[in-house]
Amino acid sequence: MKSKGLTYIELILVIGIMLTLSILTASFYARFITQNATANTTDRIVGAFTKAQMYAMMGKNNSNWGVNFGSATVTMYQGNSFGTRNSALDESFSVNSNVAISGFSDINYARATGLPSVAATISIQGGNNSDTVTVNSQGVASK
């Protein structure tokens, strides 16, 4: 007599396959999230440099503008330095905890000329992914 339905062996086999697929999917998803966070942070940093340079060249609020990198925050600020900035005008964004930023921590753009205080290279790393943002002597940021 044939039994209809699943045997325990078939059930264990199906559960094992589903568990394996779930583990693989979770690891790919985690890697995707880290890659996306790294790329997003890179794009936002380039945008912050571009905006700070544009504000400085326009002479917005008759002041210099700069970008500062903290341990978990990137801040675009008005002023000659991060320490003497007008914090009411700060534009900040948080950096994903899986992403690390290294390199020069503060770049300030001169009013009217838009020239940076220093040409610099900033490294953005998240997991096995890394991006580099370069600010040249003319203040142009590129990745």
Position 3 confidence tier, pLDDT thresholds 50, 70, 90: low
Position 20 confidence tier, pLDDT thresholds 50, 70, 90: very high
* Better-scored residue on pLDDT, 28 or 48: 48
Domain that holds residue 24: 8-142
Rounded to a whole number, what is the largest CA-CA distance in the chain?
A: 91
**Contact yes or no for 109/115 (Cβ under 8 A):** yes
What are the phi and psi torsion angles at 52 (to 5°)?
-65, -40
Task: Say how many domains are in the chain.
Answer: 1
Is residue 1 one of the residues assigned to a domain?
A: no
Predicted confidence (pLDDT) at residue 100 exceeds the cutoff of 70: yes
Q: What is the pLDDT of residue 104?
A: 87
Going by C-alpha positions, the residue among 63, 37, 53 that lies closest to residue 131 is 37
The predicted model gives 116-143 an average pLDDT of 95
As a whole number, the mean pLDDT across the chain is 93
Is residue 40 one of the residues assigned to a domain?
A: yes
Predicted confidence (pLDDT) at residue 2 exceeds the cutoff of 90: no
Is residue 20 one of the residues assigned to a domain?
A: yes
Is residue 80 one of the residues assigned to a domain?
A: yes
* Total-model pTM: 0.82
CATH label of the domain that carries residue 62: 3.55.40.10
Is residue 19 one of the residues assigned to a domain?
A: yes
Is residue 111 one of the residues assigned to a domain?
A: yes
Position 1 confidence tier, pLDDT thresholds 50, 70, 90: low
Please write down the HEC assignment for all residues of the chain.
CCCCCCCHHHHHHHHHHHHHHHHHHHHHHHHHHHHHHHHHHHHHHHHHHHHHHHHHHHCHHHCCEEEEECCCEEEEEECCCCCCCCHHHCEEEECCCCEEEEECCEEEECCCCCCECCCEEEEEEECCEEEEEEECCCCCEEC
Is residue 29 one of the residues assigned to a domain?
A: yes
Predicted confidence (pLDDT) at residue 107 exceeds the cutoff of 80: yes
